[in-house]
Homo-oligomer: A and B are copies of this chain.
Amino acid sequence: MQSANVVIVGAAGLVGQQIASVLAEHMQGLPVGELRLVASDRSAGHELTVLGRRLTVEAISPASFQGMDFAFFAAPNEVSAKYAPIAAELGVVAIDKSSHFRMQDGIPLVVPEVNMRHIGPADRIIASPNCSTIQLVMAIGPLDRAFGLRRVVVSTYQAVSGSGREALEGLDAEARDWADGAEPQAKAYREPIAFNVLAQCDSFLGDGFTKEEHKLRFETRKILGRPDLPLAATAVRVPVRVGHSEAVTVEFARDVSPDEAREALRGLPGVRVVDDPGASAYPTPLAAAGQDDVFVGRIRQDPDRPDTLHMFVVADNLRKGAATNAVQIAEALWQSGM
């Protein structure tokens, strides 16, 4: 095959459009032949320009997957639940950004730089992890291999675009209202997010943690193949448009110096160490937005425990946290001859 036929499900959404952009940048590694854009009835009929082609978004149906090589799912869970198996049945590789299949046995949950080996030749549904999980495992996966993780504690600073287009427009509207002198009114979440911080991402579960916090815990364990890894998260929404940040505390099986950790991370594909406190150089979401790399900085040893490091991990949640990771999975499969 000279080129791959691709369908994007949820093509009108933030992540769907980002997948289209990233595909255009990866034409060398993953040359796209036929391209279909599909979505719910609500978004069908929209015209979008993708890869220089003017395309109409079609309403999703089983026929959407006929003759395709890859299907990117950037749609609600129930859409993936219904259509990914249909695509797989037709021999299409479904790369799913929803959380529906992620924790199912037999479904590989993949960050290409970390665990591409989890994909077997017969796999037709491949889950792409939660945005906050992807950047975390990009940073701590290599450290686990080098030094052995014993425990992880993570506090997140998550961008509003992680909640989708409507939430992002809500933040923008709140910020504009503020500039106009209006009282804060919630337009993205239950409480205002402009000039505020909400210690809630996704809904609460019975144990006092949120779904997002569970995703960080259980997806990280699956990806790293460490089913018992102690990991606790606090997931917090901040008034940032694009770019998730994470303050990460990592305990190792042995003492690890910041230099050893930087050494283990430097030069890895997809990871950039930005860590020069003397020059106030550390990762920020504004600088990471639009980039594919995961940025790691503020690496320092715990003052009381030489087996513990603290660091700050930042990535574009729409790119490596979503679109780029999904496209990289397809590209790696395509390059391997599937």
Contacts and interface: CB of A to CB of B under 8 A. Distances in A.
Interface of A: 151, 153, 155, 157, 175-176, 178-180, 184, 190-192, 195-200, 204, 207-209, 217, 230-232, 234, 236, 238-241, 243, 245, 247, 249, 258, 277-278, 280, 282-287, 297-305, 308, 310, 312
A199 B282 contact: yes
B298 A197 contact: no
Nearest to A217: B303
Contact of A153 (B153, B199, B209): B153
A136 to B, nearest CB: 14
A299 B287 CA distance: 33
A240 B195 contact: yes
A207 B300 contact: yes
Contacts of A184: 286
A197 B155 contact: no
Contacts of A301: 207-208
Contact of A247 (B236, B241, B280): B236
Contacts of A285: 196-197
A258 B157 CA distance: 24
Nearest to A313: B199
A209 B305 CA distance: 15
A157 B246 CA distance: 12
Nearest to A312: B199
Contacts of A310: 232, 234
Contact of A204 (B178, B240, B277): B277
B208 A234 contact: no
A310 B199 CA distance: 12
A299 to B, nearest CB: 7
Contacts of A230: 302-305
Given A234-B310, A238-B157, A302-B232, A297 B209 contact: no
Interface centre among A199, A249, A282, A312 (most CB of B within 10 A): A199
Contacts of A258: 208
A243 to B, nearest CB: 8
Contacts of A198: 284
Contact of A208 (B175, B207, B284, B300): B300
Nearest to A234: B247
6 contacts: A151-B304, A175-B179, A196-B240, A197-B238, A207-B303, A236-B247
